[in-house]
Structure 1
């Protein structure tokens, strides 16, 4: 039953992303790639597709696209508003979308679409208020709710390196080394230096690509696409820097930033590929971006039974019960994704 519920929610998110992204992504293949990325991004492979506990990471991605998009029909307005409300009630992380909600309100007022607050922004506010209201009533939950460790101080350099590796390298560089549980607290090695240099170069190339697309978009008066790139990229990076510094740099927190980068990449590609802008010898180069993303998906896929069977609470409790049957056992070890790194949870 849980698996069917998860399948429904993921399909709902996929469909909503595909429809809502039509404002900034005119190419249907780009919209399809963006919609499927919430299950195909390599970093999402750290979560079980049958585990409902971490669906909120996918819902946050879909909610960002909804707030960036436009709702042309009553059905779309109801569907998208319902999704952002569900997202708000599911996770406190929805607060990260405050700049996106503010941008949407400003964009609609500037374009004279409506002088009232857009329904999706109202839905976001209702969901967010409900989430933090329940946290206030229940007494919060501290950093344990987020997976954070208040006793560990993470330096700015380490946070930036993890941003480059877990958001950019692992998701957009094919055959990038697998992520391990190493927290890089045991000194700097030659391998880390080489990886850092590669990531800095790759990050620099992405910045140049984004800046050039922004320049082209401004020259062609495509303000909406340009602002979508700037806002989503800023929100994604700020989201990671805050959570990784204050709470945790777990791979699951890289899902939303990686999605934001992909959204910006596809939007920038769309700016270059608009009719009348296909300069000979230049515009086909942007086709390399979707190809790079697809190859990255394929090169990092790691099949695992846990991905379809758990870890769910029921499966974890069953493993723990079996482990406790061993005479003298004080704890039970439950395996989690990724299994190649032998990551486990002690119960």
Structure 2
């Protein structure tokens, strides 16, 4: 099997799986329990929190565990507008957000909030001059993704923060960092954000665990109510096994980041070289000079990305055509939203590399991809 869909989810590392098994068997106590067993589990939760916080350059008390990116986004966005309602009902996001943010804003729009959707350049990079022009005294919240989940484009979060805070220091600034975390260096103190969402299953931890950074001094209204876990931000018994696994995955990521990122860089460069050498009528949609080394979105004319995907799966090669979270909906792809031609939109595939991929994987994948593209073109051109 050649797995090239690591933006959708990742395979948990062996060390993470082993830790989870041990945790389920031995560390099953509730961290809220008053006995020593519970206290021991609570201590391990805080150790994991500290590992992840250090990697993000924040304080442990600024990090709250959640079930994943979608929940983190919902908690901050809904909690922020609820808290900041005295400022005004104008909120700002982009037209390319993942559905975990975009659908939240649509819901707020139906509740009467004025939503401004920022446009982007041809590569999907947000228009910061439009952001500047839209900032005024009644903007309660801005939310901008860090790395585009389909194209890989990196947004200039630091500059966006400076624009927002210079216009109104009370405007909350939230960032969906799910596709950035683990793919590019993330220093939250330097970025100047108020909230930042991350997810474990994108970095070789299990599904069902994530975290939300809330800058010290920022107060949002809770949207979950119950036992007051996570200081009331996310009530409910903690997923302790998931938390320990998340901490372990980050610990390994921190140790291996440079080496693994260099590998992905070499693999992506090889894909680009083989495209240039062996393929015709294609366009690379990912801005190679402003994206994580792990992501490559490319369109092939006179084909359909979904058909390419099904060709490749016959050889146990797995890619994607769009965000896995929106592939079952009628939501437009980012390429459609950017006004790209029908052929570019229909013929696009997304390749997302992982640390287990090898140069041999890429050679085999590109050979099979070439066969698929040419075979599909023979059929489509025959019908014309």
> By the TM > 0.5 criterion, same fold?
no
TM-score by length of 1: 0.26
Whichever structure has more helix as a proportion of its residues is 1
Larger strand proportion, structure 1 or 2?
2
Query: If the length of structure 2 is used for normalisation, what is the TM-score?
Result: 0.24
